[in-house]
Amino acid sequence: MLNISTNRVNKKVDITTTRSGKKVFFREHHKTFSRLLGIFLLIMLAVMFLPWTQNVRGEGYVTTLTPGQRPQTVHAIIPGRVEKWYVREGQHVKKGDTIAFLSEIKDSYFDPTLLQRTEARLNAKKQSVASYGGKIKALDIQIDNLRNELDLKTQQLRNKLIQANLKVVSDSIDLEAAKTNLTIAERQYNRANILNQEGLKALQEVEDKKMKLQEAQAKKISLENKLLSSKNEVLNTEIEQGRILAEYGEKISKAESDKFSAMSMQFEGEGEVNKLANQYTNYEVRRSFNYVTAPQSGFINKALTSGLGETVKEGDPLVSIMPSDIEIAVETFISPIDLPLIHKGEKVRIQFDGWPVIIFSGWPNLSFGTFGGTVVAIENYISTNGKYRILIAPDPEDHPWPEEIRAGSGAQTIALLEDVPIWFELWRQLNGFPPNYYQPQQQDGDKAMKKK
């Protein structure tokens, strides 16, 4: 009834005395239900104050800890034609095992004796350089001999010049003596002539004095000629000395010029030797590239170039290899709003695809089937999917990850934050607030969380 009327029936009629009223208002189970409801409400109220671990969930996949352990593609180093395969897909290969053989397709490398011919050219050029070295040594000996001979000639001419100067001095002294004798002879002749005119001397004695005077004059002239000859000898010696210096200087300069020419040819030959040695090494290394080898031990995932006779270019992929000895890790992605909550060394719980798991994200101790991990790297630049990449390694303090995990399988991650009451977490979720911001700190060797 809508109770529109002012006449209320419940005031005038006692419904508790009816049969249906007795069944409704006087049964004991209603009291039991009320008690159970009250107990349930008390339990729910107590649960609201239980601790709840805030967390950040992410999705990722299994990868490796280092880039060198991740799947890689083996490329052709040189252009060539596939002549033979030595492996098949799924086969395990060791580092250095031959994968395929490529034959040359460039006419510059067709010659099967290319290495031998290049080595012969290299040896010939080395001998040429050695011969130039011998020529340089011979020219050094020749230059030393010329310089020694020049020193001897110079010393000889120096001695000769000293002798000539001494002879000039000697002739000068003799000339002075002859002049003195001439003067004495002139005086004796004049005196004898005067005495002859006075009748005191005989004519014969005057003639003897005149003869002596003439002999003194002749001797003077002879000594003057001898002195001039000695002076000419000095000049000739000095001229000879200059000529010897010029002659041997020209010879030494020519020998040094030949030496420098030989040195230039030797240096040029050494440059050719280095060029040929480099070319030989390049040919030798290129021959090793004809055999494509495994860069590391692993499994052949897929042949990217199939068949025989296929022509590949430089850098074309041939096969992909998955390394066998790897340290697995998990690569996960989180939203930018959760990035400040993640730090290196944080503990993370991981759920791998294919492993049965029971997860209580707020109570990690009650979860089953999850594995522990530690954050080892946080990407500083956002990925193409609009999230930040996090790299997680196995936690050494937790039980080890399953050995059957393969790289590339999916993984769900739960980064554990701080503990809060359940009522706070419900209130945060209803309002759409992010988890509490915090930073880890080291205090007395133990990791503590600091709220901000």
CATH of the domain at 94: 2.40.50.100
Whether the CB-CB separation of 303 and 33 falls below 8 Å is answered with no
DSSP letter for 401, please. P
Domain boundary among 300, 323, 346: 323
Do 196 and 295 belong together in one domain?
no
Q: Provide the phi-psi class of 283: left if phi over 0, else alpha when psi is between -120 and 50, else beta.
A: alpha
Short-list 92, 88, 100, CA closest to 297: 92
Indicate the burial class of 280 (C-beta count within 10 angstroms; 0-12, 13-18, 19 or more). Answer: middle
Q: Are residues 90 and 137 in the same domain?
A: no
139-153, 227-241, 301-315, 355-369: least confidently modelled range: 355-369
Average pLDDT for 278-293: 89
**pLDDT given for residue 141 in this prediction:** 92
CATH classification at residue 395: 2.40.30.170
What CA–CA distance (Å, rounded) separates 19 from 72? 85
- Is the pLDDT at 94 greater than 50, yes or no? yes
Lowest mean pLDDT among 152-161, 199-208, 259-268: 199-208
Q: What pLDDT band is residue 434 in, cutting at 50, 70 and 90?
A: low
Instruction: Please indicate, yes or no, whether residues 245 and 266 belong to a single structural domain of this protein.
Output: yes
- The mean predicted confidence, pLDDT, of the chain is 80
pLDDT, mean of residues 72-90: 90
User: d(Cα 362, Cα 417) in Å, to the nearest integer?
Assistant: 10
128 assigned to some structural domain: yes
Task: Count CB-CB contacts under 10 A for residue 301.
Answer: 15
Please check whether residue 284 is in contact with residue 147, taking contact to mean a CB–CB distance below 8 angstroms. Answer: no
Same-domain pairing of 98 and 152: no
Task: Look at residue 447 and tell me whether its pLDDT is greater than 50.
Answer: no
Note whether 284 and 115 are within 8 A (CB): yes
Query: Residue 187: what are its φ and ψ, rounded to 5°?
Result: -65, -45
CA distance 181 to 212: 10
| Whole-number CA gyration radius for the chain | 60
- Containing 270, the helix (H) or strand (E) segment is helix 203-289
pTM for this model (two decimals): 0.56
- Residue 443: predicted pLDDT: 41
48, two tokens: 């609201």
Residues 155 and 275 in one domain: yes
For the chain, first and last CA: distance in Å?
Answer: 59
Three-state SS annotation for 102-128: EECCCHHHCCCCHHHHHHHHHHHHHHH
Q: Is the per-residue pLDDT at 450 higher than 50?
A: no
CA distance 348 to 116: 62
Q: Which amino acid is at 159?
A: N
Q: Is the dihedral of CA 242, 248, 251, 253 positive or negative?
A: negative
- Confirm if 298 and 406 have CB atoms less than 8 A apart: no
Asked whether residue 23 falls in the same domain as residue 159, the answer is no
What does the pLDDT average to over 364-383?
76
**Region of poorest pLDDT, from 30-39, 148-157, 418-427:** 418-427
Instruction: For residue 16, give the DSSP letter.
Output: G
As beta bridge partners, residue 416 has 55
Are residues 298 and 171 located together in one domain of the fold? no
Both 60 and 78 in a single domain? no
Determine the distance from the C-alpha atom of residue 292 to the mean position of all C-alpha atoms in its chain, rounded to a whole number.
Answer: 25
Residue 78's CB is within 10 A of a number of other CB atoms, namely 19
Cα separation, 417 vs 434, whole angstroms: 12
Give the pair of three-digit tokens for residue 309: 């006779």
What is the count of structural domains for the chain? 4
Residue 64 included in any domain = yes
Range from 134-148, 194-208, 284-298 carrying the lowest mean pLDDT: 194-208
Q: 109 in a domain, yes or no? A: no
Torsion of CA 143, 149, 153, 158, to 10 degrees: 80
Residue 53 included in any domain: yes
Residue 233's domain comprises: 114-289
How far is 391 from 331, CA to CA, in rounded Å?
A: 5
Same domain? 121 vs 253: yes
Looking at residue 446, what is its pLDDT? 43
Whether 118 maps to a domain, the answer reads yes
User: Which CATH number does the domain housing residue 230 bear?
Assistant: 1.10.287.2610
How far is Cα 209 from Cα 198, in angstroms, rounded to an integer? 16
Specify whether 31 is located in the same domain as 86: no
- Across the range 284-301, mean pLDDT stands at 89
Task: Check pLDDT > 80 for residue 117.
Answer: yes
Which distant-in-sequence residues (6+ apart) come within 8 Å of 47 by Cβ?
422
The two tokens of residue 77 are 């180093």
User: Looking at residue 354, what DSSP letter applies?
Assistant: T
In terms of domains, do 188 and 276 share one?
A: yes
Residues 59 and 138 in one domain: no
